[in-house]
Structure 1
């Protein structure tokens, strides 16, 4: 509240509210209270009739916050279901809310400000100063249910664009003209259902039309101008790399809901990463919560059991003042708290460990936070059927359909503005992980009994996307009035497009319907038959006796005009320092502490500890390792329960550095692939069995400079994947991550942001490696070459610089990874840590703090690619790719050096008992600095004090 300039509140009390409607006795209310609603260790409860308003204590202001009508209330839904189990049959409906008592000197205007800015998100909630009027169990007013024709056949260009804009279709003029021409040929106007279906299918979110479009690319440099015509970034670079690598162990890439690779003779593993950026900007908890739920369903959509989640999160600076925020933007701290809570809530309740991720803060993410959500799954080989057959039933499992999530696919395809919360609030979905967990259990039984011919999830676009994509080759007939609803009053297009959560679509042979129904009943999962797969390759939708849509599948899925885009890229030039930044060793020591304390480097333990990374009992290497379990792992290693009688495992890691993208997105892509590979190799993954995923988050692709950077990044993906032999098996793009300030008109894009996720096979989890130092007397090696590459580095940022020398491709990187893997497998390595953010200095500090031991190193021994004078600052803080710090016991040193003889590798120091990091200079081996481990750990935990700690200098 102090950030709002409100300082009169002395204390605040929060209470949970539950509104109950029904024929309930006092004893039944008591049972619900004592057995379902109240934790007697920390809570007490009172109840009263709704007509009896709760008294507000003297000197306090009461603010009560509840969900808007039609928004999913998962707490109330679970309360209602559990009441039945208790035998309380008189409960008819329930709703949850919160009550806040603010004590102190607070004016009504200040109370409204606190409610609006801190307590209530008007996208999904409403509030009252005082007591809420309960609306529980009251259905919205009924309107006539029918499909409406939308006149477009006779419209001119401006009229077509107006229809697209007013209906939030996100279709451009060429696309609207194609729709107009189709219906002119049909001799009729489209219905609202048909128009919405086309918009969803052709949306950027679902159709990836930028990555599939024609790009006229111009690149300018000192050598001249290069022009290139690119027919599909996806085919030319991402898929082409996978095809050229042609790894025999890739089972499915860019076909299913997730990528799939071989694991053992009997099992395959799947991996998918999605983004949920726009929803998280509007409603952080719900956006992140359903982001996890959606990517888990992607894994369920390939008939796999989810075994791990990942998350990479990007926010604006948490310390920004409220007055500095653009209009209509939530404060980064509120987004941060909501997103973290949403991820915690879904993953923990589903019993899936969250094992890997990152958190990045940058001013570019103030209005457009990024929420990358990933999931890994395992399934028996050949257990995932993909082809529905004519006559199969269209079965929907799981949650009911409501208005939550409407226009989610098209909403995710546009830029955000100060009015987005008002115009697109309905695009935010609300999740219920308990429903999804029960659905998962039912699906795994159905899979093992082979009861379905195909399965997919209801994600972006809802039933429209799931059913029409599954039935593209066959055709479908759907009866929308048979779709189970949360409440009455939904129009046909709302039923078809709703992105209500926790729903899966199955193609089920009629003879298996009854068996599937019994399984669902056993698992408390709702199941409904809503249609059939046909053989006419058309989309037929009915509501009662009315035909509300009749479209050609060919037009729906192939009729979109190819987008034509212009792209231009000229490498920017940034200032480089004229001379040395440092003067004495103490400067470097202080810089190291400042980097360790930076929000992007420091410990994220306060977040990660909220996630359950032990559940399922298969996590071999966890997010934190070391003597006190507080050192940052390079990657996670899993040994799924399905292979508990053998020793293979999976390594999950990632690479992400948007700071490089400001200089050159090509270099950013190279570095992200390199880092993802290093992370999983460092823990024991076989570098010849690593698959990767690409997730692009970018600005407006219709702006040539943004599109030019995207082309550069795709080229980097292609070259990086071929360099390491790592096929792409899945990916996703989230474009239009820009914000237009309604007051200033300023248009701001996020930094170019490419996440590379890696899934590697660990041949034997008994031969894995962690990053914490293990024993005094061991030798310390630096593997890989160091270059004077400080562009985009934390060292430069600390000194207010960007630089130009962004890290380039490590030519010896693949050979280095293979040699290191052999050494780890032979038991020659005690600890291994990759060099990334902050370079060698940060890697050494992290290994020391994790192991509780000291290190003595000499910079003179570091392998360098070029002689730039061996200045200590770039030797310590360069972020060159392809490097690892390795701890080797003395008795294994000779064998280790033989293994590494063909790649850059040098002994640079040793592990010591003295808890300090000591660095010797190149000339004369004098000590540059020595930092106590306690000081290093204090910095890394973010506890250092001072005006510049954790921030770049001006």
Structure 2
């Protein structure tokens, strides 16, 4: 419920008591999930403009120019709390919601990404959540015909009671014909199209803005929406047809806070009257409060001229969708709700939509890095343990559940970057972050997240167009968490400015804590990045006979590494990297000098070798632990035919050659070999756990 302080403020402002509908509207619209009351000043520091940005933050999705005839719509959302309570439906409706955000811009959804973070797989509850979240994403995406082409996957004990389910959607629209979510003028009608409204999802926005309790699964299940992907597919085609004929003035998805949220935010430039009793319902006896705040899925709200209402209804019926003429835009800045002739809400619309007071939380820095303790375990055994960690191991069990090739635009896909053919060019997508690094160094770790995703794009010759983000944190009431949040946002903004990449939209998800497991998530400012390459390049491994070259300097940075995760060795987390190397590698790939490339991230050089050159011989130049397992950013493993091709590139050296019958690593007169069978066994660990 709305806090005592907020309720008293509202009573003083309105000079009266509030109705139950008004209280429910403020409870949801003033929640952290909708109002960003803890983060608004920070979010304003982010760079949001760029030459390709046609529409930045503030709408359901951003619009970024891809070419003269094509723009991309892109958005990112979280569905964390619902996915813990009901993992299948929570994850599925997260996909449905972000797809509708893109659809509301008049764009056809063409691709999804899913950065996911779970507790460790040795616990049955975590395996259950992992299994059903992936199933929910795959089921919904496959049914609506939108491919899941990439994402991120991380495992850490901190997510045991609060998994993170983030989703990115990208769509395409003509640069001159996208829709927006703000009404255009008074006197127009508001038409609700799609599924009937039921009681599912009640209070979802306020539910997403509080900690998960021990009895969350039973108590909060009514707050989780239930999706219907087959209706969503019909809705996609209907809305696109409506947009094509040019009769839709504005459009908004019904997501957090349901009809109250969508209609008030949509009409905030003027005002609106909503007739709750006109909404088509799935259940009888629903109250005005339930109708306005239910978060039933697969619904869209359109602004149209009065004379076009019947035409919109005819198109909806063509696709077997229900619809209702539920209200009108008014000139007065009021938000009015009527129910069977009675006014049940009459609120200043600015107060509802943007009047939530800020929460100036106290901030307190902390220091969590520890001294490095060298593991006594033999290097080969450490290597196999690192490769078997689910952050590094193959993701086949996940990706095989997704139809990655529907729509026939996917050229290649991996957990690094996905390549889609768009017109005569390539749209390249990457997402994710490294929470363990960010926990130890929030500013540097988040800044390095930008470099890491741009590096993924560079490996296939793409230059970044834009960033969207999902800022997942624990409760900012804790001064250390509030400091994490501040430092992460500053690091994100500073590196985006340095690299010239606009941040065009995003989402904030706070209060990710669990009473059940007594856990707080590590800071997880996951990002999605979209880029463009004029040439379509498929990612590929190195070929026999290629020279293997390491670009970038390696430092003994083990804190938060996979080696640290499997041994507890500690150490310093990676320092802020120099992003200049990203452009160097991108240009090398475009010129054809480099035949294959991957950046070094989780698992360090060892994981990169297993991916790019699993049968090769490598000669290390120094300490094998530092060379193999450090996770310094701004480094690349590349393959080329001639060492002279990299003449002039700073900090590069030949480390080996592709070929042989194993991955052989040598240093200072010592060596070990990982056979293909040993490598396959280690990398298949996650798949083996989840299948059996």
TM bin (shorter chain): over 0.9
Q: CA deviation at 1:724?
A: 2.1
Q: CA deviation at 1:559?
A: 2.6
Distance 2:366 2:157 in 1: 23
Question: Structure 1 pair 933/423, CA: closer, same or farther in 2 (3 Å)?
Answer: closer
- The equivalent residue for 1:353 is 147
- The equivalent residue for 1:936 is 679
Distance 2:531 2:687 in 1: 37
Correspondence list, 1:750-789, <5 A: 750-765=521-536, 768-773=537-542, 775-789=543-557
Q: State which of 601, 609, 617 in structure 2 corresponds to 1:836.
A: 601
- The equivalent residue for 1:97 is none
Distance 2:363 2:460 in 1: 40
Q: Is 2:45 the counterpart of 1:263?
A: no
- The equivalent residue for 2:656 is 909
Question: Structure 1 pair 302/940, CA: closer, same or farther in 2 (3 Å)?
Answer: same
Distance 1:483 1:756 in 2: 37
Question: Structure 1 pair 172/568, CA: closer, same or farther in 2 (3 Å)?
Answer: farther
- The equivalent residue for 2:575 is 808
Distance 1:260 1:875 in 2: 42
Q: State which of 7, 11, 28 in structure 2 corresponds to 1:200.
A: 28
Mean Cα displacement is larger for which, 664-673 or 352-361? 664-673
Question: Structure 1 pair 211/708, CA: closer, same or farther in 2 (3 Å)?
Answer: same
- The equivalent residue for 2:389 is 598
Distance 1:831 1:278 in 2: 40
Q: Is 2:638 the counterpart of 1:897?
A: no
Q: Is 2:404 the counterpart of 1:404?
A: no
Distance 2:372 2:283 in 1: 62
- Report if the CA contact (8 A) 2:443-2:490 is conserved: yes
- The equivalent residue for 1:859 is 620
Distance 2:624 2:499 in 1: 30
Q: CA deviation at 1:787?
A: 1.2
Distance 1:788 1:771 in 2: 29
- The equivalent residue for 1:635 is 417
Runs (5+) with no aligned partner, structure 2: none
Mean Cα displacement is larger for which, 293-302 or 780-789? 780-789
Distance 1:172 1:940 in 2: 49
Q: CA deviation at 1:771?
A: 4.1
Q: TM-score, normalised by structure 2?
A: 0.96
Q: CA deviation at 1:690?
A: 3.1
- The equivalent residue for 1:820 is 585
Q: CA deviation at 1:259?
A: 2.1
Q: Which secondary structure does the structure 2 equivalent of 1:919 belong to?
A: strand
Q: Is 2:175 the counterpart of 1:381?
A: yes
Q: State which of 685, 690, 700 in structure 1 corresponds to 2:462.
A: 685
For residues 63-103 of structure 1, give each alpha carbon's deviation from its aligned partner in whole angstroms, at most 9, with x where no partner exists: xxxxxxxxxxxxxxxxxxxxxxxxxxxxxxxxxxxxxxxxx
Q: CA deviation at 1:191?
A: 0.9
Distance 1:335 1:193 in 2: 35
For residues 882-940 of structure 1, give each alpha carbon's deviation from its aligned partner in whole angstroms, at most 9, with x where no partner exists: 111111123xx43x314xx243222222111x22112221x4xx342222222112211
For residues 353-382 of structure 1, give each alpha carbon's deviation from its aligned partner in whole angstroms, at most 9, with x where no partner exists: 000012222211111111111111110112
Distance 1:700 1:581 in 2: 35
Q: CA deviation at 1:266?
A: 0.7
Distance 1:819 1:669 in 2: 22
- Report if the CA contact (8 A) 1:655-1:673 is conserved: no
Q: CA deviation at 1:669?
A: 0.5
Q: CA deviation at 1:193?
A: 0.7
Q: CA deviation at 1:573?
A: 4.0
- The equivalent residue for 2:242 is 446
Distance 1:801 1:313 in 2: 25
Q: Is 2:376 the counterpart of 1:611?
A: no
- Report if the CA contact (8 A) 1:779-1:907 is conserved: yes
Q: State which of 293, 298, 301 in structure 1 corresponds to 2:101.
A: 298
- Report if the CA contact (8 A) 1:308-1:354 is conserved: yes
- The equivalent residue for 1:16 is none
- The equivalent residue for 1:156 is none
Q: State which of 466, 477, 483 in structure 2 corresponds to 1:708.
A: 483
- Report if the CA contact (8 A) 1:654-1:675 is conserved: no
- The equivalent residue for 2:610 is 845
Distance 1:747 1:939 in 2: 31
Q: Which secondary structure does the structure 1 equivalent of 2:139 belong to?
A: helix
Q: CA deviation at 1:840?
A: 0.6
Question: Structure 1 pair 435/494, CA: closer, same or farther in 2 (3 Å)?
Answer: same
Q: Is 2:318 the counterpart of 1:522?
A: yes
Q: CA deviation at 1:441?
A: 0.3
Q: CA deviation at 1:502?
A: 0.2
For residues 286-333 of structure 1, give each alpha carbon's deviation from its aligned partner in whole angstroms, at most 9, with x where no partner exists: 100100000101101211100001112222223226xxxxxxxxx222
- The equivalent residue for 1:101 is none
Distance 2:387 2:315 in 1: 53
Q: State which of 765, 778, 797 in structure 1 corresponds to 2:565.
A: 797
Q: Which has the higher contact order (CA 8 A, sep 6+)?
A: 2
- Report if the CA contact (8 A) 2:421-2:427 is conserved: yes
Q: Which secondary structure does the structure 1 equivalent of 2:363 belong to?
A: strand
- The equivalent residue for 1:571 is 367
- Report if the CA contact (8 A) 2:104-2:179 is conserved: no
- The equivalent residue for 1:676 is 453
For residues 166-187 of structure 1, give each alpha carbon's deviation from its aligned partner in whole angstroms, at most 9, with x where no partner exists: xxx2x33432221121232xxx
Q: Which secondary structure does the structure 1 equivalent of 2:38 belong to?
A: helix
Correspondence list, 1:183-198, <5 A: 183-184=14-15, 188-198=16-26
Distance 1:424 1:904 in 2: 54
Q: State which of 858, 882, 886 in structure 1 corresponds to 2:638.
A: 886
Q: CA deviation at 1:944?
A: 12
Moved over 4 A (4+): none
Runs (5+) with no aligned partner, structure 1: 1-168, 213-231, 322-330, 624-632, 861-869
- Report if the CA contact (8 A) 2:396-2:687 is conserved: no
For residues 487-542 of structure 1, give each alpha carbon's deviation from its aligned partner in whole angstroms, at most 9, with x where no partner exists: 21100010000000000011011222222222222222222110111111111111
Distance 2:499 2:4 in 1: 42
- Report if the CA contact (8 A) 2:151-2:432 is conserved: no
Q: Which secondary structure does the structure 2 equivalent of 1:594 belong to?
A: helix
- Report if the CA contact (8 A) 1:634-1:682 is conserved: no
Q: TM-score, normalised by structure 1?
A: 0.70
Q: State which of 362, 374, 398 in structure 1 corresponds to 2:156.
A: 362
Q: CA deviation at 1:769?
A: 4.5
Distance 1:247 1:179 in 2: 39
Q: CA RMSD in A?
A: 1.9
Distance 2:471 2:335 in 1: 32
Distance 2:165 2:565 in 1: 24
- Report if the CA contact (8 A) 1:671-1:881 is conserved: yes
Q: Which secondary structure does the structure 1 equivalent of 2:122 belong to?
A: coil
Question: Structure 1 pair 493/302, CA: closer, same or farther in 2 (3 Å)?
Answer: same
